[in-house]
Chains A and B, each alone.
Chain A
């Protein structure tokens, strides 16, 4: 009798069951093959468990079999939207190990390329973010501006995204004679277009309703999870490698580290928009002052690193990218480990999305700017 009573009581309260839904690996809003195991109660998200490994390509293991200049082209394929930063991190790591000082010209060109890559990456992020919120218009506007940066890359580096431009000891080619003019034209053009981004999306009432106060990540949580890059800085975590451990030409330029203490999705959005302005100002400071000189140091045919462990950080468009090389004195590395920003950022998603609706989960995930090959490597 008592059992029956209990059942009746339960149905009276209309208790909804928890259920689990697989979002991905083929879900369009996961930007690749990311699988999220979402525990739901009705529409409310209780728990998000990311499952990675669907595009694992074993890049770290492949690096053990090839020489140091050959590693560069594999790092293109990890974070394909900020390929140049990954190239540069590996190149810097090898140069530090061999204690080679590259010419100033190389440093300046690398930094300009970094910032152009950051612009291109943030533009793509911006247009995809709008699309995840349901605004298809932004997609065309962002890609239109990004295409011109890719043209600059194509002219100087020979490829649009997988540039392989920084090599140990310098650069693959010297800059193209048109490079400076093109970059200056582009900066002039993009300065008129970036305010359009604000008009289209930043001020939009629908976008603000869906981001303000959503996806809260406290400073403590950001530090615990190692959330770096614009996502970490939106939680007030001062983590800009360009500022704290300057490399290449960053010591020569003046720029601000964008920090925001609002910790929500809107903060992560605005940090990226402001970073684009900072990137523009960095490029403007450097583009007219590229010193004359060689574009590469003459290197030996076979590079052999001294025995030991070497670590190099670089600020990619998504956060801190780290390269850890263990060398046993041969021409191949003994072990290579990449610290990818996307992996650390992804696992903070549970803390951000808990308690929100499933539609907000998509909006929150998109603010992290996830690149799946960067997570799985």
Chain B
């Protein structure tokens, strides 16, 4: 008889613990505005990422299509997995000096682990981390990017 009573009470105790859990879930059923999720694809226009968010490496250009990259190659040396390739060219300045300039700053987004070492190492602040994170493409070749825009040149006043 005693074990039977224990059995019955254990059932009620078990149901009670379930009801405690139900109370918590019920609270959220009736207060659905207290959520933290973003309805992401719908809020694309208003979505602002944090300023430090690392989405991709970009090279900002100003209004005159000028960038700050000198082509020194420090980012290439600091990259752990070879995502950056610097192709430089040498030109002759009007004064007759030979000068090394950036030809192409090739960035393989598909290999990049976004570790921030290149941006940290850049002496002129030519490359920064961009906030764009929608990188899906149909063709893998599109993940290889040339960061300096065609026709761009180094802005004056950048120390080499």
Q: Please give the residue numbers on chain A whose beta carbons come within 8 Å of chain B beta carbons, in ascending order.
A: 66, 69-70, 72-74, 77, 137, 144, 147-148, 151, 154-159, 162, 164, 172-173, 176, 196, 199-201, 203-206
Q: Is the CB of A199 within 8 A of B80?
A: no
Q: Which of B96-104, B110-118, B135-143 contacts A (4 or more CB under 8 A)?
A: B110-118
B151 within 8 A of A: no
B154 within 8 A of A: no
Interface string of B113-129 (1 = CB under 8 A from A): 11111001000000001
Residues of A close to B37: CB separation below 8 A: 144, 147
Residue ID in chain B nearest A70 by CB atoms: B80
Chain B: minimal CB distance from A126 (Å): 14
In the bound assembly, the distance between CA atoms of A158 and B130 in angstroms comes to: 11
In the bound assembly, the distance between CA atoms of A77 and B80 in angstroms comes to: 14
Q: Please give the residue numbers on chain B whose beta carbons come within 8 Å of chain A beta carbons, in ascending order.
A: 13-15, 17-18, 20-21, 23-25, 35-37, 49-50, 52-54, 78, 80, 113-117, 120, 129
* From B18, B20, B54, B80, residue with most partner A Cβ within 10 Å: B80
Q: Is the CB of B129 within 8 A of A158?
A: yes
Residue ID in chain A nearest B50 by CB atoms: A155
Q: Is the CB of A158 within 8 A of B24?
A: no
In the bound assembly, the distance between CA atoms of A69 and B116 in angstroms comes to: 11
Which of B20, B23, B49, B117 is within 8 Å of A70, CB to CB?
Answer: B117
17 new A-B pairs (CB below 8 Å) besides A73-B80, A158-B52, A204-B21?
A69-B78, A69-B117, A70-B117, A74-B80, A77-B113, A148-B36, A154-B49, A154-B53, A156-B52, A157-B52, A158-B50, A158-B53, A199-B21, A199-B23, A200-B24, A200-B25, A205-B17
Q: Is the CB of B20 within 8 A of A203?
A: yes
Asked, given contacts A155-B50, A158-B53, whether A203 binds B17 with beta carbons under 8 Å apart, the answer is yes
